[in-house]
């Protein structure tokens, strides 16, 4: 190559670099901040919901949101629950959490301590949002960090054929009626128990769903001013109530090793008269035993209690990352999902109850069992005090350990509650 050619190439190279330096930036591909002045914003939304919904249905909702909000696009990052949990936990620790995240209430306390979640209270205030339509908010330190989008409540399932055989006219509405029904339903000769109580230490959520739920059903609490309060009269009366059923032999054998899936299997096979369980199990029970004649009712309250009943629940919660460069746009997506119309659509396709008090899922108009459960839902309020607590699952296990010792007579109720209280307090120390 001669010198003239080399010189010409050098000039062209310099000229090209000057043009590149003066060229405008491609703003459509780079993330934009909340004051991006018309540039396209892409929100990352990590959740486990999309795989659990009918194919394409959740993406269709995101398309609807994008149509209503030109300039905002949503990138769904979807996976199974366990995988999503790993991703969100890793993102929280590294400060790389997606703009919008699906949340389990058990994660919230740790994320807030890490400073990973934005205050939704602040975002609602900035958007002048009226939160009166929200069925529940998960708060720590007076600020909301998670909103339940759809809820899977835990009412009582009753086997109507077993009840008729036992001469029980209607599902129980009070604790005394429940205790009476449980004993009448119990028929050891035919391997039938009145009630089933899963207390496995490996999977201790029976303390949440099947024990503390009785406290909440009568307006009681296991907490006081943000601290454990396990020795109060409300918790004590529930423990005594369950102990009475245990001593009477009305609870299915092997309670200390039973898990939630065991409970559902026993009820499905007609070996249990009553259980507390998630609405998510209705269709599974129908598929496995189409002949089972069962109904849904509210958790019985303490005799004489006339207030609203707390309903144990699990939720698909939603939050906004503290590290998001687009908090205003992220809130728009949350607000969209919580609007009455959209929340009705989402709860319908999820077979769940809405997070907006003005929403009604389609299935309650066509399915008798879901309609009955929806009436229970509307008459009560969502109650799950484990949501937002530190190491929530371990708290259940610590109570479970002491509760089992009380049930089998190894220690007094005073000792069981005092020991559980002390064990919980160790996890609430700063």
Residue 38: what pLDDT?
Answer: 64
Cβ neighbours, 10 Å, residue 50: 19
Task: Give the mean model confidence (pLDDT) for residues 349-371.
Answer: 88
Residue 126: pLDDT over 50: yes
Running DSSP on this structure, what letter comes out for residue 187? Answer: B
**220-252 pLDDT per residue, tens:** 999 999 899 999 999 999 999 999 999 999 999
pLDDT the model gives residue 309: 93
Is the Cβ–Cβ distance between 38 and 71 less than 8 Å?
A: yes
> pLDDT class for 368, splitting at 50, 70, 90?
confident
* Dihedral, 170, 171, 176, 180 alpha carbons, nearest 10: 70
Is the CB of residue 327 less than 8 Å from the CB of residue 31? no
What pLDDT, on the 0 to 100 scale, is given for residue 224? 96
Q: How many angstroms separate the Cα of 393 from the Cα of each of 139, 311, 419? A: 18, 19, 17
pLDDT of residue 264: 92
Q: Are 241 and 214 in contact (CB under 8 A)?
A: yes
User: In 3D, which of 137, 164, 141, 163 has the Cα closest to residue 149?
Assistant: 137
Q: Does 312 have pLDDT greater than 80?
A: yes
Is the pLDDT reported for residue 336 higher than 60? yes
**Pairwise pLDDT comparison (180 vs 29), residue with the higher score:** 180
Mean of pLDDT values over 166-191: 97
Full set of structural domains in the chain with CATH: 41-152+314-382 (3.40.190.10), 156-311+389-426 (3.40.190.10)
For residue 329, pLDDT beyond 80:
yes
Indicate the pLDDT class of residue 29, thresholds 50, 70 and 90.
Answer: very low
The reported pLDDT for the residue numbered 8 is 35
∠ CA 177-183-186, nearest 5°, is 135
Residue with tokens 């509650």: 417
Per-residue pLDDT, averaged over 99-105, amounts to 94
pLDDT at 9: 38
High-pLDDT (> 90) share of the chain, %? 70
Q: Read off the pLDDT of each residue in 387-391 and give the average, rounded to a whole number.
A: 84
CB of 182 closer than 8 Å to CB of 245: yes
Between 38 and 219, name the one with better pLDDT. Answer: 219
pLDDT, greater one: 300 or 279:
300
Q: Region 66-85: what's the mean pLDDT?
A: 93
DSSP assignment of 220-231 equals --SEETTEE-TT
The H-or-E segment that residue 42 falls in is: strand 41-47
Instruction: Examine the pLDDT at 412 and tell me if it is beyond 60.
Output: yes
Distance between CA atoms of residues 196 and 254, nearest Å? 9
Vertex 66: Cα angle to 65 and 69 (nearest 5): 85
Mean pLDDT over each residue of the chain, to the nearest integer:
89
């Amino acid at each position: 190559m001669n010198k003239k050619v080399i010189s010409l190439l050098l000039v062209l190279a310099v000229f090209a670099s000057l043009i590149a330096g003066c060229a405008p930036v491609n703003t459509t591909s780079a993330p934009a901040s909340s004051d991006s002045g018309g540039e396209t914003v892409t929100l990352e939304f990590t959740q486990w919901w999309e795989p659990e919904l009918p194919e394409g249905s959740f993406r269709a909702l995101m398309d609807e949101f994008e149509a209503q909000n030109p300039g905002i696009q949503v990138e769904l990052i979807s996976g199974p629950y366990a995988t999503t949990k790993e991703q969100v936990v890793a993102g929280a620790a590294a400060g790389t959490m997606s703009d919008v995240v699906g949340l389990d209430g058990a994660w919230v306390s740790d994320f807030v301590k890490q400073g990973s979640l934005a205050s939704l209270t602040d975002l609602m205030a900035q958007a002048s949002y009226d939160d009166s339509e929200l069925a529940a908010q998960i708060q720590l330190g007076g600020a909301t960090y998670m909103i339940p989008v759809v809820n899977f409540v835990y009412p009582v399932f009753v086997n109507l054929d077993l009840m008729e055989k036992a001469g029980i006219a209607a599902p129980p509405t009070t604790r005394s009626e429940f205790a009476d029904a449980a004993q009448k339903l119990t028929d050891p000769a035919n391997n039938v128990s009145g009630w089933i109580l899963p207390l496995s230490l490996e999977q201790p959520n029976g303390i949440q769903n099947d024990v503390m739920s009785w406290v909440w059903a009568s307006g009681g609490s296991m907490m006081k001013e943000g601290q454990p309060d396990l020795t109060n009269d409300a918790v004590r009366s529930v423990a005594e109530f369950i102990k009475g059923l245990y001593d009477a032999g009305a609870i299915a054998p092997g309670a200390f090793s039973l898990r939630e899936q065991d409970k559902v299997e026993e009820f499905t096979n007609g070996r249990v008269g009553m259980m507390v369980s998630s609405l998510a199990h209705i269709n599974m029970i129908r598929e496995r035993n189409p002949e089972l004649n069962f109904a849904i009712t509210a958790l019985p309250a303490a005799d004489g209690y006339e207030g609203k009943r707390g309903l144990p629940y699990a939720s698909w919660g939603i939050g906004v990352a503290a590290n998001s460069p687009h908090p205003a746009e992220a809130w728009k997506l949350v607000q969209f999902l919580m609007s009455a119309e959209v929340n009705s659509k989402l709860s319908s396709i999820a077979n769940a109850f809405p997070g907006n008090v003005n929403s009604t899922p389609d299935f309650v108009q066509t399915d008798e069992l879901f309609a009955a459960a929806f009436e229970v839902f509307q008459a009560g309020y969502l109650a799950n005090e484990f949501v937002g607590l530190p190491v929530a699952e371990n708290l259940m296990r610590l109570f479970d350990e002491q509760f089992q010792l009380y049930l089998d007579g190894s220690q007094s109720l005073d000792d069981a509650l005092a020991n559980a209280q002390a064990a919980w307090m160790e996890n609430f120390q700063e």
